[in-house]
Chain A
C-alpha cells in the first residue's frame, strides 16, 4: 500500500450509491437490535404502574387481584407453573429429540433420514392452537388412564399422588403436549451439532472395532455435549413461552401445586392470554409485568444457549 497508490479513476473513492446502500443495510441491522431493546424498554415502562400500586409482594404473593382495590398480585404461582410444565416437557422431549437426531444422523438410510427430518420439522409448523385443540379433545383422554395409573401405583412418590381424584387438565398433560411441541427444536439443533462431529473421530472409533453405540458414546456424545445442552435450553425457551396450547389444556387454577396429575397450574403466557380480555388498565399493566418477567427469563435462556452453540461452532474441526 505504501509502495504503490493506484491512480484515481473517479473523483471520490467511495461512490454515493455504495455509501447509501451500506448505510441503509447497517441501519436495518441496527434497527433489529433496536426492536429488541424497545421490547425491553416498553415492557418495563408499561409495567411500572402495576408494580407501584401493588400491595402484595410481587415475588411471593399468591393472589391475582390486580384490578381490585387495593390491587394485590404476585408472580410466584405463574413462575412455578411455567417452570414446572417446561421441566416435565424437557424430561420427555430431550431424550426423544436427541434419540431422533441420532437416528437421523447415524442410523437411518439416507432417504429415510431425510424424510424423517422433514416430518419432525413439519411438527414445528403445526400451529399451537391446533396442538391445544388436539391435546384437549384427543390426547388428554389417552393420558388420563396413565395419570390414574401413576397416582394409584406410584402415588407414594410425592409428585404423583392425587387427592382430588380428578385427572384432566393437569400439569402432566400440559407437559406432554409441550414436549411434543419442543421436540422439533431439540431434534433440529442436536442434528446440527451431530453433523459437526469430526468424521475422523467417528471413523477412527469404528475402525478400532467399536460398535455403533460405542462410537456414539465415545466419539459423538462427548464432542456434542455442550451443543446438546443448548439444544435442550432452546427447547426450554420455547416451552417457557408457549401460550395457547397451555392456556387450553391447563385448568388455570391460581395456586402452587406440585401434584402433576391434578387439574391445577398456570403459566405466565397462558395467564396473559386468558386474563387479557377481562383485565382493566391496572390488570393489563400487571400482565405486562409478568410478560416482562417471561421476556427476560427466555432472553437469558436463549442467550446462554446461543452462546454455548456459537462458541462450540468456532472450535469445531468439522469444516
Chain B
C-alpha cells in the first residue's frame, strides 16, 4: 500500500500506521490549483497566443481541473481524484450558471441608463419620432403593458383560484387527476401558440378587432396554469385541523373555504400571482399576434393596436438605428426592472411567510 511509502506527505501524523484516514491534500489545495490556472490564463491573455476572446477563461478552467485532479491522484488516490474532479466540475457548472444573469443584468443596466429618464418613462411616446433621431419614450408602452397585464390578471386570478380550490378541496378521482395533469402540461404551452389561439378564436372567429384586450386574453392563457399551480400548493399546506375545526362548528364547507382556508393561504396565493405577473409581463410573441405595434397612446384596450414594453423593444431593434437601439436598451431596462421587482418581491414574501418545506 502507498500508506507506508511516503512519510513526507503535506499533512501527516508522525506515524503513518496510526492514521485513521488516508493522506489528504492541504485545505488550500483548490485555491492553489486555481491560482496556477489563473497564472497560466493571465500568461495566455498577456501574450495573446490565440485570438479567441474566451480562450484565457477556458485555459484557466482546464489548467485548474487538470492540476487539481492530478495532484489529488498523486496524493489521495484514484477514488478521491474522481471525487475531487466531479466536485470541481459541479462547482464550475454552478459558477457558469451564474454568469449569464450577471452578464445580462450588467449589460442592460449599463446600456439602458443613458436614455432612461422620467420623461422617457411617463411622458414621451414614439409619435412623430424619426427612427434616426434621439428622443421619444415608452409612456404609451408602459400604459399598454399595465392594461394588458391587468386584464390578464383580472381574468386569470378568479379562474385559476377556483380551479385550485377545486383541486385541493373537492377534486377526487379521474377528473381532478386529469385537470391536475393538464394544468402542468399547460405551463409548457409555447407563448406564441397562446397568441395564435386568441387570434383564431377572438379575432378570426368571433370577429373582434386587434386590441389590448385580445393581448390580455392571450396572456391569460399563459397565466392560468401558473396561478393554479401556485395557489393549489398553498391551499394544500393549510393545516387540516383548521378545516376540521370549522366544519365541526357546523359551518358550511364553502364558508369554511372562503373564511378559513383562503385567508390562511392568502399571502402565498398573492406571491404566486405576482410570479405569474412577472412571467407574462415580458412576453412578446403573443402580443405581436393579437395587438401588434403602436407608436402612440391608446387608452382604449378594446379597440385598435396598443403598444407594450416588449413589442416596443422588438420594434426598436427592428429599426436598427443607433438611436432606436438606445431606446430598445432603455425599454429593456424598464421591462427588466418591472419584472424583477415583481419577482423579487414575490420570492421575498414567499421566503418570509411560506411554511418551511424541507
Question: A residues engaging B (CB < 8 A)?
Answer: 15, 17-18, 20-22, 24-33, 35-36, 38-39, 42-43, 45-46, 95-97, 99-100, 102-104, 107-108, 116, 118-123, 125-134, 136-139, 141-142, 145-146, 149, 180, 183, 187, 195, 211-214, 216, 234, 237-238, 240-244, 248, 269, 272-273, 276-277, 287-288, 291, 294-295, 298-299, 301-303, 305-307, 310
Contact = CB atoms under 8 A, between A and B. Distances in A.
A213 B278 CA distance: 37
Chain B contact patch, size range: 35 or more
B186 interface: yes
A17 B257 CA distance: 12
Contact of A32 (B53, B103, B183, B329): B183
Contacts of A45: 200
B41 to A, nearest CB: 16
A15 B332 CA distance: 53
B2 interface: no
Q: For the complex, would chain A's binding face be called helix, strand, loop or mixed by DSSP majority?
A: helix
Contacts of A248: 317
Contact of A133 (B92, B187, B328, B343): B328
Given A212-B87, A242-B190, A130 B104 contact: yes
Contacts of B187: 302
B186 A36 contact: yes
A306 B185 contact: yes
Q: When A and B form their complex, which 9 residue pairs have the shortest distance between CB atoms, in order from nearest?
A: A241-B190, A127-B282, A99-B93, A28-B162, A21-B254, A211-B83, A25-B166, A302-B188, A243-B285
Interface string B308-329: 0010011001000000010011
A238 B279 CA distance: 14
Given A15-B254, A122-B340, A146-B52, 19 more contacts: A21-B253, A24-B162, A28-B159, A28-B166, A33-B179, A36-B186, A95-B93, A100-B93, A122-B101, A128-B283, A128-B284, A129-B282, A241-B191, A242-B190, A243-B284, A276-B289, A291-B193, A298-B193, A310-B184
B64 to A, nearest CB: 16
Contacts of A123: 97, 100-101
19 contacts: A25-B169, A28-B159, A32-B159, A38-B201, A39-B194, A39-B221, A43-B196, A120-B98, A123-B101, A125-B282, A125-B340, A126-B336, A129-B313, A133-B317, A137-B325, A138-B103, A211-B82, A277-B292, A303-B185
A244 B192 CA distance: 9
B121 interface: no
B185 A42 contact: no
Chain A CB within 10 Å, residue with most, of B182, B204, B336: B182
B188 to A, nearest CB: 4
Contact of A39 (B50, B98, B193, B289): B193
A42 B189 contact: no
Given A142-B53, A213-B82, A107 B189 contact: no
A6 to B, nearest CB: 12
Given A299-B185, A302-B188, A32 B98 contact: no
Q: For the complex, would chain B's binding face be called helix, strand, loop or mixed by DSSP majority?
A: helix
Interface stretch (B26-34, B124-132, B170-178): B170-178
B89 A234 contact: no
Interface in B261-312: 278-279, 281-285, 288-289, 292, 310
A149 B55 CA distance: 10
Nearest to B201: A42
B328 to A, nearest CB: 6
Contacts of B97: 96-97, 99-100, 116, 120, 123, 183, 187
B189 A241 contact: yes
A130 B101 CA distance: 11
Contacts of A139: 103
Given A31-B159, A272-B196, A298-B189, A127 B169 contact: no
B52 A149 contact: yes
B54 A129 contact: no
A303 B343 CA distance: 27
Given A22-B254, A213-B87, A302-B185, A294 B204 contact: no
Contacts of A302: 184-185, 187-188
B86 interface: yes
Contacts of A242: 190
A133 B54 contact: no
A36 B163 contact: no
Contact of A238 (B98, B188, B228, B292): B188
Contacts of A211: 79-80, 82-83
B237 to A, nearest CB: 13
B143 interface: no
B334 to A, nearest CB: 11
B210 to A, nearest CB: 12
Nearest to B194: A39
Given A32-B182, A214-B79, A125 B279 contact: yes
A122 B343 contact: yes
Given A127-B283, A145-B54, A244-B285, A25 B94 contact: no
